[in-house]
Structure 1
Amino acid sequence: NLNTTVFAYSFIKSVDKLMSTLAKAKQDESNMMSFSKTLLHEVISMRLSPRGYLREVILVPEVIRLSGYPHLSLWELLFQLAVRYDDKRRRRYTYNLQICTLKNFESKLLQIFGLKSRPKPSSDIIIPQYMIDLYNQQISASNNLQFANSKAASANTIRSFVHTDKPDSGSCNEDSCVRMEFNISNIPEEEVLTAAELRVFLDKHISANNITRRKILRHKIEVYEIMRPGNTNVDPVTRLVDVKHVKTKNATWVSLDIHPAVLKWRKTPKQNHGIEVRISSSKLSPSFQNFKHVRLRRSVSLSDSEWHSQRPILVTYSNDQIQSRTKRASNKNRNKKKKKKKRKNRKNKKKKFKNGCSRKPLYVDFDKVGWNDWIVAPSGYNAFFCDGECHWPYADHLNATNHAIVQDLVHSIDPRSVPKPCCVPTELSPISLLYIDEHDKVVLKAYQDMVVEGCGCR
């Protein structure tokens, strides 16, 4: 519950003092800052009442920020702090600081996610099925991004891009050839691009020709980088980037490596003239010339949903070079026995010390923050947190350091000299987030140190 309740009690005693302070402050506008701080001090000093109604005044950052505004009047400040007084009878008033708290919560999360502002995606954005499949693959693999492609193995960020059609000219004007351009300007400069692929969908070919139907058709798919654009009568200058020989027995996606071209576009964006994709029959199927089942262009028969799920996409794999600061729990399967033993120890310790250091549930709900319009998955996640006392002697599962043990010994001798060791996370794991960024691009990213896996005394 993000509602913060501020109780103000017996405020009338301080009104005269505050009003006199305001009168002095109005004479010298530079004193308004000190007046604001005085006001905050007066409100904080009211935290104890005769009946104990007011135990604490919670000042969120948004409220504290108000003390830095010299032009706010006394009553504006009082309103922001939800201070009310009814001279007929004493009442408790509740002020909902949900909006202020949400703003601060939102800004902190955006900072963690590496976003400058909250994305506001267009309503017509379609999430490629490939990105959804990748996300499902990652959450089943403990949120650690892993790929068969060795170049993409070190990536922790995946982005998908849809193309804009370039005007066809010269010999590229049939179903067997298409020119595409991708805007990749939203990839941050600090990220290291490890791989880039063009994904093309080949539908299962159904032919009316019995002879063709019995054969397994083979195609050659070539992708060229456009080095210099052409015009109506002249073909562009191109260089071959990748080629694949594929069978059309079953519907499948074909991956073409265009990493060299994308690297060049990042270094020199002005040289991004796009790519040209060509389809031709292999030597084993020389007579076949119908390539409409290769989804390079949208045919009249395709619906919007079919085209969006089958259109070509550029997928980039990169690494933001942000390292995990804490030991990660990544070998879950290999440590099953060790985990069981730890759980037994925890169970025994909980019986002995109910308030001992342990992991507690903490669910972060993106829907409640209002982020469900740009975060595709998950709708929220269990972050957990560590809480509890560090009791001597320490159990094995608390992973106490030698320093923590020494600190506890010193504290037991002289409690005023040093505090007791604290219950903190000792093992953290990442989460995978599928979202739409501020440039309307679909991103799958692994964020390190987001879930507490283990707690200890440090």
Structure 2
Amino acid sequence: LLGESNHASLIPEEGKKKIPGLQGRSAAQSHELLRDFEATLLHMFGLKRRPRPSRAATVPRYLLDLYRLQSGEAEETGAHDIAFEYPERLASRANTVRGFHHEEHMERVHEMDDGETAPLRFLFNLTSIPEDELLSSAELRLYRHQIDEAIADTLSDDQGLHRINVYEVLKPPRPGQLITQLLDTRLVHHNMSRWESFDVSPAVMRWTQERLPNYGLAVEVLHLNQTPRHQGRHVRVSRSLHQEPEEDWEQLRPLLVTFGHDGKGHPLTRRTKRNPKPRGRKRNRNCRRHALYVDFSDVGWT
């Protein structure tokens, strides 16, 4: 932000000219003013130091589209590529939205004592959420992809149905044992591609507000008829289960989204595009200019 010797400034020279109070100051005073401005920004975003984002970092498309909807940009530009509606309920008490990807190097596929494959466990590092930020809700977003060959094999509607279960892991996993609690479930058909959202608010609030141990979430995909040929293949839950290009996987991988309030502003309010004023020859009679005569001698101004 300040334009250090080995880092480019986040404020362009043209922008610096427009900062009130920056012009007419000495170099030391200008530097101090910008440093105070940087400190204010860092405090506002709950950061202790200036971030050094990796060039390989990818912003989830969902967060970008959420911003476009909230700011009204999507309506102004007529964007039709957003496949979800603005989450009024989730954002009604929040002014901060955060996105988290799971720690891939820590994901585990456990085999149960009965030989069945246990749900896939995900660990999300939520330590970056400030202690004074009050979370109101959290969702786990999973992408499921249409299976063309499965559609061809479908003989009845029931054969195309899958159930996706999302659990909270309550205790440290042991070999052959995974103690969980169901958080949300969804019955889906594998004939279409779309994102599914699951409410994981109870678990995330226990981890962040009650400071209980975070043992992660578990996702289970079940076919109603117990036919394993296509079971779970259409739900993008693990890189190892799908041969996705790197750039596609970064946008399709599971995403945990939290909605919170940092106590420093107003909840998110969706900005809508203003309707243009109707044009016509008919003028508003309630607001017009009239020529008036005033005799100043009557008010003692002579």
What's the TM-score, normalizing by structure 1? 0.47
Q: What corresponds to 1:381 in structure 2?
A: none
Q: What corresponds to 1:170 in structure 2?
A: 111
What is the letter of the counterpart of residue 202 of structure 1? Answer: R
CA contact (8 A) 1:147 1:153 kept: no
1:211 aligns with 2:153: yes
Query: Number of paired residues?
Result: 247
What is the letter of the counterpart of residue 62 of structure 1? Answer: A
Among 87, 90, 93, the residue aligned to 1:148: 87
- Aligned-partner SS, 2:108: coil
Q: What corresponds to 1:306 in structure 2?
A: 248
C-alpha deviation, 1:244, in angstroms: 0.9
Structure 1, unaligned runs of 5 or more: 5-56, 64-96, 349-458
1:62 aligns with 2:5: no
What is the letter of the counterpart of residue 134 of structure 1? Answer: L
Distance 1:188 1:279, change over 3 A: same
Distance 1:104 1:149, change over 3 A: closer
1:239 aligns with 2:181: yes
C-alpha deviation, 1:249, in angstroms: 1.6
Task: Give the CA RMSD over aligned residues.
Answer: 3.7
Take 1:174 and 1:300, find their aligned partners in 2: how far apart are those partners? 20
Q: What corresponds to 1:256 in structure 2?
A: 198
1:192 aligns with 2:142: no
Q: Deviations over 1:97-151 (max 9, x none)?
A: 6x566444433444455543321112321111111111221222699xx943524
CA contact (8 A) 1:176 1:279 kept: no
Q: Deviations over 1:301-322 (max 9, x none)?
A: 2111111111111111111222
What is the letter of the counterpart of residue 227 of structure 2? Answer: S
Take 2:185 and 2:264, find their aligned partners in 1: how far apart are those partners? 34
CA contact (8 A) 1:207 1:213 kept: no
Take 2:256 and 2:86, find their aligned partners in 1: how far apart are those partners? 16
Q: Deviations over 1:270-318 (max 9, x none)?
A: 5100111111013xx5435422221111135211111111111111111
| Structure with higher helix content | 1
C-alpha deviation, 1:246, in angstroms: 1.1
Q: What corresponds to 1:297 in structure 2?
A: 238
Among 51, 62, 66, the residue aligned to 1:119: 51
- Aligned-partner SS, 1:204: coil
Among 206, 224, 228, the residue aligned to 2:171: 228
Take 1:315 and 1:206, find their aligned partners in 2: how far apart are those partners? 30
C-alpha deviation, 1:250, in angstroms: 1.1
Take 1:321 and 1:61, find their aligned partners in 2: how far apart are those partners? 35
Q: Deviations over 1:69-92 (max 9, x none)?
A: xxxxxxxxxxxxxxxxxxxxxxxx
Structure 2, unaligned runs of 5 or more: 1-13, 76-84, 290-302
Take 2:180 and 2:125, find their aligned partners in 1: how far apart are those partners? 19
1:321 aligns with 2:263: yes
Structure with larger Rg: 1
What is the letter of the counterpart of residue 155 of structure 1? Answer: A
CA contact (8 A) 2:143 2:194 kept: yes
CA contact (8 A) 2:101 2:124 kept: yes
What is the letter of the counterpart of residue 235 of structure 1? Answer: Q
What is the letter of the counterpart of residue 180 of structure 1? Answer: F
